[in-house]
Amino acid sequence: MSNAIIRTENASKTYVSGDVSTAAIHGVSLEIQKGSFTCIIGPSGHGKSTLMHLLGGLDRPNCGKIWLDGTEISALDNSSLAKIRGEKVGFVFQFFNLLQGLTAQENIETAMMLAGIPEKEQVSRSLELLAMVGLSDKAGSKPSQLSGGQQQRVAIARALANKPEILLMDEPTGNLDSSAETEVMNILHELHRQGKTIVIVTHNNEIADSAQNIIHVKDGQILT
């Protein structure tokens, strides 16, 4: 019996701009097992990020089906999709996407605020998560006062704020030097050991080599 936490069946995504149609993903069927560490690799512009967005419910396929932890998210209305996405998935992106006017702690609390978590729990959990990523002393620092590696660690803590089972990451080390990259990857491997399902889009073959599973994407399709 499959233990897939993410599954797609002939999923396709085409973007239309004026008279031009671009097929970003075409007929993709895959399974990602619960608790696994998976890397999605391939050339730039061949659909990796689009695939990640589909897997996490940030975008919808034009055709085909996608299941997230047993729920067919491709069939949900926008409200239901947002709810399951907020409960099940944490996202981390290459450019951190932190709110510049807020402190590290406040950035993490914002994710919980949107989920309706009580304020007292927001505070305690945000401090707990900052400790987990080694940034207890940076709780009051704003993004401009943090290095790239520190900002990405805050982004990871924010992604974990609502205790998701899955972390989806698009080039999470793409803007980091080798030392910061090592720090971030050590955190991700520890989260995997704790049972999180990790999916990373990356160009970095060293990162891919450390994963349990590798999905090769080219021309919007999975290479087998």
Asked whether the beta carbons of 200 and 38 are under 8 A apart, the reply is: yes
The residue type of 148 is: G
Asked whether the beta carbons of 172 and 152 are under 8 A apart, the reply is: yes
Of 7, 9, 4, 6, nearest to 64 by C-alpha is 9
Confidence label for 183 from pLDDT (cuts 50, 70 and 90): very high
Of 216, 110, 206, 220, nearest to 157 by C-alpha is 110
Cβ–Cβ contacts within 10 Å for residue 21, how many? Answer: 9
Confidence label for 18 from pLDDT (cuts 50, 70 and 90): confident
Confidence label for 224 from pLDDT (cuts 50, 70 and 90): low
Of 156, 199, 198, nearest to 52 by C-alpha is 199
Q: Are strands 213-218 and 37-41 parallel, antiparallel or unpaired?
A: parallel
- Mean of all residue pLDDT scores within the chain: 94
Tokens of 90: 């944490």
Give the chain's end-to-end CA distance (angstroms, integer): 22
Mean pLDDT of 3-11: 96
Q: What is the pLDDT of residues 88-121, one digit of tens each?
A: 999 999 889 999 999 999 999 999 998 889 999 9
Rounded alpha-carbon distances, angstroms, from residue 7 to 3, 54, 70, 132, 146: 10, 11, 8, 30, 37
For tokens 């696994």, the residue is: 36
Distance CA 146, CA 99 (A): 13
